[in-house]
Structure formats: structure tokens, C-alpha cells
């Protein structure tokens, strides 16, 4: 992987997402013969679930499924988070934000693979400004972040 390559994360279907959409669609087909209006509605909902309902994420070009978690963090924790995400420290301390300006931490992770991707945003007046690029964390550093979520 080139050092300048941007990490991109995209939403993807899980098996459960596809199964739920298929069951709703199949129920719609069955109901259609009894109550056509409701059957069409269920079929439409099944198709919409298939198209739009995606519960997992993955890095573009890789196959590892990732869960997503986000936190609102107090602004005084910014330096600690940035230093940790850049790999300059193994210590990580942060706490939840109160009202007003805060930081927003977006984390995509897979505990079994000991892998995490994180991005920090500065939030001011409901405007999200990226404070860091998406950073990849592996092994102990990833587990340190995941356990604090």
C-alpha cells in the first residue's frame, strides 16, 4: 500500500441484511394472493430494504467486515487523541462531551482481526471539520481504542 493512498470506507450488506430483505419480499409475495395491496407494499419494502439497508462497512478493496461506532468527545481530549491516532503514543484517554463545541470520533473496527480505522472531527456550530485523515490501527493499538468505545 502506498503511503499517500487515501483510506476509504464504504457501507456494505451483511448476510442478515439480505436475509431480512428476502423474507419481507417473500412474505409480500405470499400476502399478495390474499390482500394484493398489502402484498405489493411488503414487496416494495423488501426491495427498499435490499437497496438501502446496509449494517456493515468495509475498507474499499478489502473483504473484512467492520462495525461502526461514533462518540462525542470533550475538546480538551483533542491532543491525546491526535497523538494516539498518529502513532506517537500508546496511551489513550478521553471522556464524553457536554453541550457546545466538541470532537466527534468515528471508528470502524473488527475485534477478531484486531483492526480499526478512526477519524476525528472538530464540531463547531454543527459543522464537522476533519481534524485527521482516516487512520489505520492494528493489533494492540486497535484493541486499546476498541475497548474504550
Residue 45 pLDDT exceeds 90: yes
Beta strands 67-73 and 115-124 are unpaired
Mean pLDDT, the chain, rounded, equals 89
Q: What is the mean pLDDT of residues 124-128?
A: 84
Please give the pLDDT value at position 1: 43
Q: Which of 20-29, 102-111, 138-147 has the highest mean pLDDT?
A: 20-29
Give residue limits of the domains in the chain.
9-59, 67-148
Contacts of 110 (CB under 8 A, 6+ apart): 64, 65, 66, 67, 116
Residue 22 pLDDT exceeds 90: yes
Please give the pLDDT value at position 36: 96
Q: What is the mean pLDDT of residues 111-138?
A: 89
DSSP letters spanning 71-85: EEE-GGGHHHHHHHH
96 DSSP 8-state letter: B
**H/E run at residue 128:** strand 127-130
Residue 58 pLDDT exceeds 80: yes
Please give the pLDDT value at position 2: 45
Grid cell 411488503 in the structure block, residue = 42
Amino acid at each position: 500500500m502506498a503511503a499517500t493512498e487515501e483510506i476509504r470506507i464504504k457501507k456494505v450488506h451483511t448476510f442478515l441484511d439480505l436475509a431480512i430483505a428476502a423474507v419481507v419480499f417473500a412474505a409480500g409475495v405470499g400476502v399478495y394472493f390474499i390482500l394484493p395491496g398489502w402484498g405489493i407494499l411488503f414487496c416494495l419494502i423488501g426491495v427498499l430494504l435490499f437497496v438501502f439497508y446496509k449494517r456493515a462497512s468495509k475498507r474499499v478493496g478489502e473483504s473484512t467486515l467492520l462495525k461502526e461506532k461514533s462518540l462525542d468527545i470533550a475538546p480538551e481530549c483533542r491532543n491525546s487523541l491526535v497523538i494516539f491516532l498518529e502513532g506517537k503514543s500508546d496511551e489513550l484517554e478521553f471522556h464524553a462531551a457536554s453541550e457546545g463545541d466538541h470532537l466527534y470520533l468515528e471508528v470502524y473496527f473488527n475485534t477478531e482481526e484486531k483492526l480499526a480505522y478512526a477519524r476525528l472531527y472538530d464540531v463547531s456550530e454543527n459543522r464537522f471539520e476533519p481534524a485527521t485523515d482516516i487512520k489505520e490501527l492494528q493489533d494492540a493499538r486497535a484493541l486499546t481504542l476498541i475497548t474504550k468505545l
